Structure 1
Amino acid sequence: MIAINVYNPAKPSEVVWTGNETGIETIPTMLSKAKAAQKSFAHLSGRQRYTIISNFLDALEKRSSDIAERMILEQGKLAGEAAGEVAKSLTEARWMLGRCLEQVGEVMASMRPDVKAMKLRRPRGVILAITPWNFPILTPLRKVIPALVFGNAIVLKPSSDAPGAATILYDVACETLPAHLVTILYGGSKVANAAILSEDIAAVTFTGSTDVGKLVMASAAQGLKEVSLELGGKNAVIVHDPENLDAALEHIVRSAFANAGQRCTAVSRVLAHEKIRHDVIEGLKRRIATLRPGAGHDARSTLAPLSTKGQFEKVASVVSDLQPAQASILIGGKPAKNDNGGYFFEPTLVEVHEKDCFLNTEEVFGPLLGLEFYQDVQEAIERVNDTPYGLSASVFASSLSVVRAFEEGIETGMLHINHGTFPDENMPFGGWKASGIGAASVGAEAAQFFTRVQAVYEGL
């Protein structure tokens, strides 16, 4: 067996979770049991599934503090961020749970007088969910609940960098749900690929980097499996003419540095109108200077560590590779001093001078915020869209005509007007272009992935 050790990013010498990689040879039996469990579960009524899943969520909520503690130790979240993630996850899950009791099909206009035509949605079967380390409970639960709501079984493969929260989810599932309805796999790409290629997997949902998403899609294509990919982002905020600039800058800093910038929807670019250059620079610098890197259990901490050594080294390398002609560091720009060798990096603001600088197009995933300036609305729109990604964007403007121009011109799956890039629990979550493919998760759109349409003709 291959051992998995997880280290505390705030104190990398400390091992905080241990486990073993799932043996490839055991996967077929695990998936076969999941498939049998799904067939029984799919025959239950919506009310029966509602009761079963509700009991699961009640039991999971009782483990909230344990889940939050796992995230603090394994992923480095601040205590408040960890508690907030658990709460948001449960709120979102309970909103989705209500769809057990809603219509999942429709009666269509019939072309023949003696035939009733219906469009029904059926469960897909066994869903494989591959989840990342940056949201160790939100992302797994975002996939587990709709899978169960629509009558599927689900196989969860969490990141080996922060698997503890998903393990608690699995333990609670074993205690409260029908056997084998939720299965967990541990390991890396080999384990994931073995599951993807299995004939017992009907569909694959993945959240992570765009590069890995392409590999997942290529493997799934071999079995013509449905995929849902939630991928990277290079999310911009446009600061045009807000009624309250101070409030706008507060939103931006929270959106940029929450979870140490390790969110796919984190703000990583600010485009501000040239006429407010000075106020934006000074306002951002002043707020960023107040952020205090520190461990999650330290109440004084306001900026979490980077979650892995690899991510820490990537951010440091990106900053060191910047050339003076490309960008200027306005604040931060180096590892933050600490006593335990933790993966802390100073919150960093960079003024970007070249439009084609890699900071404008490449996802960094850290506490690094790029700042640019523009002259007119059309220029701002073009520069926001000049990236392979299209996940999220935000606009701060008071003019209705300007807001409308941004609404119609920006190419992202999610657009926020006069607030930061934090999504609601009942709204579609998904991106355009290289930020994702397939049905958006969360909300009614989730049914498009977790079910398949069946056209039914019923003779009278």
Structure 2
Amino acid sequence: MLRETGLHASHWGVGNAVSTIDGTVQEVVDAPDAHVLGAVPIGRWRTIDAACSLAVGGLLDISRVRARDISTALSNAADAVEHHERTLAAGLVRETGKPLSEAEREVAATAAILRNYAGLGSASGTARAVWSDSGAAWGVAAPEAIGVALLVLPWNLPLMITAHKAAAALLARCSIILKPSPLAPRTPMRLAQLLSAGLPEGAVQVVQGDAETARMLISHPSTAVVSFTGASRAGRQVEVLAAESGVKSITELGGKSASIIFEDADLERAVRETFRAAMRNQGATCTAPARLLCSRTVLPEVEELMRDVQQSVVVADPYEEATTMGALRHVVADDRMAALLLDLEQASVEVSGGGRVEVEGRSGRYRSPAVVFDPPADHPVSTDELFLPIVSIRAFDDDAHAVEIANETAFGLSAGIWSRDQTRAETFARALHVGTVHINHYGRQDSLDLPSSGRGRSGFGSEGGLEGVSEYQVTKSIHFLRGQQ
């Protein structure tokens, strides 16, 4: 059996582990220190074919498992996640650079996600009976698993996103193959191990690898559905390859979300929570409200509040309790941030912060958060998902102008609205071309059974709730004639 050894990560399967390694490995770098942690094997055809063969067998076995038993497995996994909180959180810090306190919140959220899906178990496979108007015929619409599910994971929230995808697919009775990011290979593998307890052999597997590994898994004849979270360009490639291979694709491709602050809002809370959400995970979250839009009548006050909250950020060793912002994941991100800030400076756009920070005892890349004031509408700061600790501020003149600015991006993932007028906020929410809207908060997870979905370049399909489970199901219609034997 291939095991996690030292700081290395491996392929992994239930019971009979995937036992073929194709030879190529890739180094894994620690984000806080920029040191090599170990290596991850890069799966190629022998590994992939062996995993898919196990998954096909696991698909048949998991179809016989009762819904309540899958719910029990998810609940037990949630308990195990909480039991291993310290080691899981430390692993997240190494793989993502986020502060330990933030990593601990991700671990807690992961357990909550698993428990929420466990509560959906009894409703996840309910058949629906339909009668004809005449009463002479009737039928049953019966949901069943679509088949082997490939789950392609990002590096930024590896535990939470694994929990969302894996729990939904397992409730749908799919066997699953996880393909973690080579930047964060270990924590998803550990969660897969915890999820597999009590499930049939072959139901949960991990194949480590790179983009070519993902392409080979998508095109394998055994794959029925691929769920991908990542960059827009890579997601489009996934959608094309899946279509060519006859595979369903579910894609969550990030966003350029806006937080819209009206003049009647609680300005201090709106600015503080927007900034906190935008800087979560060093800005590397798909739903980050990287565009703050505010009424021109309160622009001076909002800008002052933003400068105040910016000064409260503590960029330091991610393992220190007082740290609120950790390390950028890799040197590419640091270089891109430097280039963007230089470009803004040359265009005479006002920028506060964003400079390099030296952290004693750590050799990773650290930067203070940057606030950009009134950037051009066509600048990457306004149009592109950056995955960096950068937030911009732009003013609007009235509600129609606010809708125009908010919707001018090609992305459509999420948005925030801040107003004491609930009717106005709800009306405005319906005018936004996004899948999720937060009113007078940003990103709280009190309604975990609500789905999230994207529009435009933010992808297709839903994640979360029964809608998320149904993405891994197909409906079989069974027709009867009344009185016929």
1:437 maps onto 2:466 in alignment: no
8 Å Cα contact 1:71/1:165 also seen in 2: yes
Q: Which residue of 2 aligns with 1:381?
A: 403
Name the CA shift for 1:55/1:417 in 2 (closer, same or farther; >3 Å).
closer
The structural deviation recorded for 1:450 is 1.0
Name the CA shift for 1:303/1:193 in 2 (closer, same or farther; >3 Å).
same
Q: Which residue of 1 aligns with 2:216?
A: 194
The structural deviation recorded for 1:375 is 1.0
The structural deviation recorded for 1:4 is 2.5
Q: In structure 1, how many angstroms separate the alpha carbons of the residues matched to 2:54 and 2:423? A: 57
1:89 maps onto 2:96 in alignment: no
Q: In structure 2, how many angstroms separate the alpha carbons of the residues matched to 1:61 and 1:248? A: 31
The structural deviation recorded for 1:264 is 0.4
Q: In structure 2, how many angstroms separate the alpha carbons of the residues matched to 1:399 and 1:60? A: 40
Give the alignment partner of residue 59 of structure 2, picking from 38, 41, 53.
Answer: 38
Q: Which moved more, 1:237-246 or 1:149-158?
A: 237-246
Q: Which moved more, 1:445-454 or 1:211-220?
A: 445-454
Unaligned runs of 5+ in 2: 1-22
Q: Which residue of 2 aligns with 1:426?
A: 449
Q: In structure 1, how many angstroms separate the alpha carbons of the residues matched to 2:55 and 2:79? A: 23
The structural deviation recorded for 1:69 is 1.1
Q: Which residue of 2 aligns with 1:344?
A: 366
The structural deviation recorded for 1:421 is 3.3
1:137 maps onto 2:173 in alignment: no
The alignment partner of 1:11 has SS state of coil
Unaligned runs of 5+ in 1: none
After superposition, what is the alpha-carbon deviation per residue over 1:220-270, rounded to whole angstroms, capped at 9, x for unaligned? 111221111011100111111234211111111211111111110111011
1:364 maps onto 2:386 in alignment: yes
Once the two structures are superposed, the pairs formed by residues 159-198 of structure 1 within 5 Å of their partners are 159-198=181-220
Q: In structure 2, how many angstroms separate the alpha carbons of the residues matched to 1:68 and 1:255? A: 19
TM-score w.r.t. length of structure 1: 0.95
Q: Which residue of 2 aligns with 1:61?
A: 82
After superposition, what is the alpha-carbon deviation per residue over 1:296-325, rounded to whole angstroms, capped at 9, x for unaligned? 211121112111222222222222222554
Give the alignment partner of residue 148 of structure 2, picking from 101, 113, 126.
Answer: 126
Once the two structures are superposed, the pairs formed by residues 162-311 of structure 1 within 5 Å of their partners are 162-311=184-333
Q: Which moved more, 1:184-193 or 1:313-322?
A: 313-322
The alignment partner of 1:298 has SS state of coil
The alignment partner of 1:202 has SS state of strand
Q: Which moved more, 1:353-362 or 1:366-375?
A: 353-362
The structural deviation recorded for 1:338 is 2.5
8 Å Cα contact 1:153/1:182 also seen in 2: yes
How many aligned residue pairs are there?
457
Q: In structure 2, how many angstroms separate the alpha carbons of the residues matched to 1:203 and 1:317? A: 38
Q: CA RMSD in A?
A: 1.8
* Identity %, equivalent residues: 25
Name the CA shift for 1:47/1:284 in 2 (closer, same or farther; >3 Å).
same
Name the CA shift for 1:261/1:242 in 2 (closer, same or farther; >3 Å).
farther
